[in-house]
Amino acid sequence: MARVVVDVMLKPEILDPQGQAVQRALPRLGFEGISDVRQGKRFELEVDGPVDEAALARINDLAESFLANTVIEDFTVRVEEVAEAAK
Amino acid sequence: MTARIGVVTFPGSLDDRDTQRAIRVAGAEPVALWHKDKDLKQVDAVVLCGGFSYGDYLRAGAIARFSPVMDTVIDQAKAGLPVLGICNGFQILTEAHLLPGGMLGNDHLHFICRDQKLRVENADTAWTTDYEAGQEIHIPLKNMDGRYVADQRTLDELEAEGRVAFRYVDFNPNGSLNDIAGITNEAGNVVGLMPHPEHAVESLIGTGRTDGLPFFTSILKKLVNA
């Protein structure tokens, strides 16, 4: 079994008020030196069977049509190795 | 003879009954449509109403857009079926790419509920002919994800083609670009807006005015005269 991770972020030009709210809270918490925060979404897909090119292509389609709205968001797809011992 | 106007109910829809009532007040016949049913029951137009379809999970409208009923709505809207999306319905129409741009959380991060002043910018769509271009109306607004966004090219195109159908006046309640409250597609049959005309069709309730009623009389006239 393998895990595929899809990260979805608002496009850089789009205002992210949630990220801004987080960023503004940082000095209060004693975190200095963070000039910007943007908040996104992470999807972890547990894939049955091998993650071959065909499977990745299907996941890419899924991300493009559903997990992300590419009018306002960008996404990346990557395979994450799941260590045997961790299972 | 009158027109039959469908109102889709998704799990989480809130304003389906109010929308049906508004249609009836305007003199048309409301027809209840169900999200799992591809059949539009031969209605002459469809309203996607407000609420939180599928809990707004993932993104507002993102899951509703893939429901069986939307397959048919998308096909028929492209063929000219008049479709009005109110609030969550507007979000569904952008997710379905029947209207350009997208909807995001209000810039102030709070739910907002108020009587909102709008200017009708385009009185030539299927849903706005009973208004005058430039007319100012008051109708209720209530949403979490009301911030309209689009890239600059799309905004320029919408402005140049007169496709910004409604604009917020005096106060932008959610950070929408160019104060956009609602837009239309190129053909004028698909219209979406965040505020709620269906809550302003009787003087007793809502804003105390009937400023939302012309949405429903506009489409009725268009369908009956067609």
- For residue B162, the model assigns a pLDDT of 98
The H or E element containing residue B158 is helix B152-160
Is A21 inside any structural domain?
no
- Enumerate the residues of chain B whose CB falls inside 8 A of the CB of residue A18: 105, 109
Look at strands B4-9 and B45-48 and give their pairing: parallel
Tell me the per-residue pLDDT of B182-210, one tens digit each, with 9 for 90 and over.
999 999 999 999 999 999 999 987 777 89
**CA–CA separation, B186 and B149 (whole Å):** 18
**CA–CA separation, B31 and A5 (whole Å):** 43
Tell me the per-residue pLDDT of A46-72, one tens digit each, with 9 for 90 and over.
999 889 999 999 999 999 999 999 999
Does the pLDDT value for residue B126 go beyond 60? yes
- Residue with token string 């009725």: B220
Does the pLDDT value for residue A84 go beyond 70? no
* ipTM for the complex shown: 0.87
By percentage, how much of chain A surpasses pLDDT 70? 93
Residue to substitute from B59, B65, B148, interface A, most A β-carbons within 10 A = B59
Does the pLDDT value for residue B154 go beyond 80? yes
Domain extent for A54: 2-14+40-86
Strand A41-47: give its sheet, edge to edge. Answer: A41-47, A2-10, A73-80
Is A30 inside any structural domain?
no
- Enumerate the residues of chain A whose CB falls inside 8 A of the CB of residue B94: 71
The domain ranges of chain B are 4-225
β-partners of residue B167 are B119, B180
> Among B17-31, B44-58, B203-217, whose mean pLDDT is lowest?
B203-217
Catalytic residue positions of B, numbered: 87, 196, 198
Query: CA torsion B216→B218→B223→B226, rounded to 10°?
Result: 180
Q: Does B133 touch chain A (CB under 8 A)?
A: no
Tell me the per-residue pLDDT of A33-47, one tens digit each, with 9 for 90 and over.
999 999 999 999 999
Does the pLDDT value for residue A85 go beyond 60? no
Is A23 inside any structural domain?
no
Interchain pair A17, B107: CB under 8 A: yes
How far CA B166 is from CA of A44, B102, B104, B178, in Å, comes to 40, 16, 18, 11
The stretch B100-110 carries a mean pLDDT of 96
Does the pLDDT value for residue B1 go beyond 70? no
* Radius of gyration, alpha carbons of chain A: 16
CATH number of domain containing A6: 3.30.1280.10
Is A29 inside any structural domain?
no
- For residue A65, the model assigns a pLDDT of 96
- For residue B209, the model assigns a pLDDT of 86
Category of B54 on φ-ψ map: left (φ > 0), alpha (ψ -120 to 50) or beta: left
Is A19 inside any structural domain?
no
Interchain pair B109, A17: CB under 8 A: yes
- Total domains in chain A come to 1
Which member of B100, B107, B150 has the closest CB to residue A15? Answer: B107
- For residue A83, the model assigns a pLDDT of 65
Q: Does B150 touch chain A (CB under 8 A)?
A: yes
Interchain pair B151, A13: CB under 8 A: yes
Which member of B62, B97, B109 has the closest CB to residue A18? Answer: B109
Interchain pair B149, A72: CB under 8 A: yes
Give this prediction's pTM: 0.94
CATH of domain B4-225: 3.40.50.880
Interchain pair B102, A71: CB under 8 A: yes
Is A35 inside any structural domain?
no
